[in-house]
Amino acid sequence: MNFWVNIFSAGVSNGTALLFATMGELLAERSGVMNLGVEGMMLMGAVTAYGTAYATGDPWIGLLAGMIAGGALSLLHAFVVITLRADQVVSGLALTFLGIGLSLVLGEGLASATGVPTIPAFSIPVLSQIPFVGPIFFENKSALVYFGYILTPAVWFYIYRTRAGLHLRAIGEYPAAADSLGINVYAWRYLYVFVGGIMAGLAGGALSLSISPGWFSEFTTSGFGWIAIALVIFAQWDPVRAAIGSYLFGSLRRFTLDMQGVQQVFGVANPFFYDRNLQFFLEMLPYALTVIVLIVGSRAAIRKRIGAPAALGIPYVRGERGLS
């Protein structure tokens, strides 16, 4: 049983980084702007946070710098797709390349940095004593993990229960109608893309300063940014589903590691323990599961006729005929 507790406990930590990136992308996509550059923004956030924490000795300043770096990159995307109306897919890919390349250039030599402070971790006094739930959610967790617990309901409340959230949905579904009611579509889209960038930067900083401290070039994120984008689709743009997905995928990450260390699973001999070469199939698992999750998400979206915000990916041009 300890085996599973360990996996889910690590999963909640891993999943927190995914959660930040997923929530940010979810907000941006809800406003109608798809940003495929999450991986690039996360890496920039990770390298900036780590480098700044190394230079200043304060992990919180590092985290802040990482958020700013992610946000700054996202503004580039916002300018190109909102103001210049370029293709969101291509711009997002460009942002990925730019973020990866720039972070590798900036992170040159950072891999050998030592004594970089990390975000403090602590346990919640009473809650951590609850069996199973305590060790998984409340024992020796980074402060950022607890922030994640607050973030999910907050985003849900914002989207579904506030006026600004209503406007957010309107901008993503039918920007012309929103505009006619005096909502500044351009400004809000800029804001949500920026928020998405800040969250991706936070996700990167959470990785390099807390969850798996260090700078390991592009392996710092190893595809987390792309998994976040897939999770948004799987979650059908709903923050609660996004959070569950994030924690599950975080657990999967740890599962693939732990599976190589035990002799028996479910009472049978563990093939991954006896044949080391099979580990590559374990490593494929998160990516394969992302594809499966996408298939399930897409099918459900078609069946229930819910899905992407109607204006997702379409530049808004004031005065032109909007969506039918």
Partner 1 sequence: MARVIEPSPQTKAPSWHFPLSVNLEPRLDSPRWLPWATTIGSVILALLITALILLWVGADPVRTFRAIYLAAFGNAYVISDTLVKATPLILTSLACLLAFRMRLWNIGAEGQFFLGAWGATLVIEAVLGKDASAWVFIPLMLLFGFLLGALWGLIPGLLKARFGVNEIITTLMLNYIAVYWVAFWVFGAWSERGFQMTPQFPRAAWLPRLTDFSAILPAFSGILLHLGFVIAMLAVALVWYLLERTRFGYEIRLIGDNPNAARYAGVNIAMMTVVVFMLSGGLAGVAGMAEVTGVVHRLQDRISPGYGFTAIIIAWLAKLNPWAVVPVAILFGGLLIGSREIQPSGLARMIQGILLFTLISSEVLNRYHIRVTRAR
Using CB under 8 A as the criterion, which residues of the chain lie in contact with partner 1 when the complex forms? 36, 40, 76, 80, 83-87, 89-91, 93-108, 163-164, 166-167, 169-170, 173-174, 177-178, 181-184, 187-188, 191, 217, 223, 226, 229-230, 233, 277-278, 280-281, 283-284, 287-288, 290-291, 294-295, 298-299, 302, 310, 323-324
SS3 label, residue 113: coil
C-alpha span between 62 and 68 (Å, rounded)? 10
Query: Dmax over Cα atoms in the chain, in whole Å?
Result: 66
Smallest gap, in angstroms, from Cβ of residue 216 to partner 1? 13
CB nearer to partner 1: pick between 58 and 108: 108
Using the minimum distance from each CB to partner 1, give the nearer residue, 5 or 102.
102
Question: CB neighbours of 200 closer than 8 A, spacing ≥ 6?
Answer: 20, 21, 24, 25, 38, 41, 42, 45, 70, 74, 225, 228
Compute the least distance from the CB of residue 139 to partner 1, in Å.
32
* CA neighbours closer than 13 Å in the CB half-sphere of residue 271: 6
Nearer to partner 1, 154 or 187 (CB): 187
Which CB, 182 or 267, lies closer to partner 1? 182
Would you give the DSSP letter of residue 269?
Answer: E
Cβ nearer to partner 1, comparing 59 with 99: 99
The distance of closest approach from Cβ of residue 30 to partner 1 in the complex, given in angstroms and rounded to an integer, is 13
Nearer to partner 1, 187 or 240 (CB): 187
Q: How far is the CB of 62 from partner 1 (least distance, A)?
A: 19
- Least distance in angstroms from the C-beta of 263 to partner 1: 21
Instruction: Report how far residue 65's alpha carbon sits from residue 57's, in angstroms, rounded to the nearest whole number.
Output: 13
The CA–CA distances, whole Å, from 109 to 71, 104, 172, 203, 306 equal 24, 9, 42, 22, 47
H or E stretch covering 103: helix 88-106
Q: Least Å distance between CB 276 and partner 1? A: 9
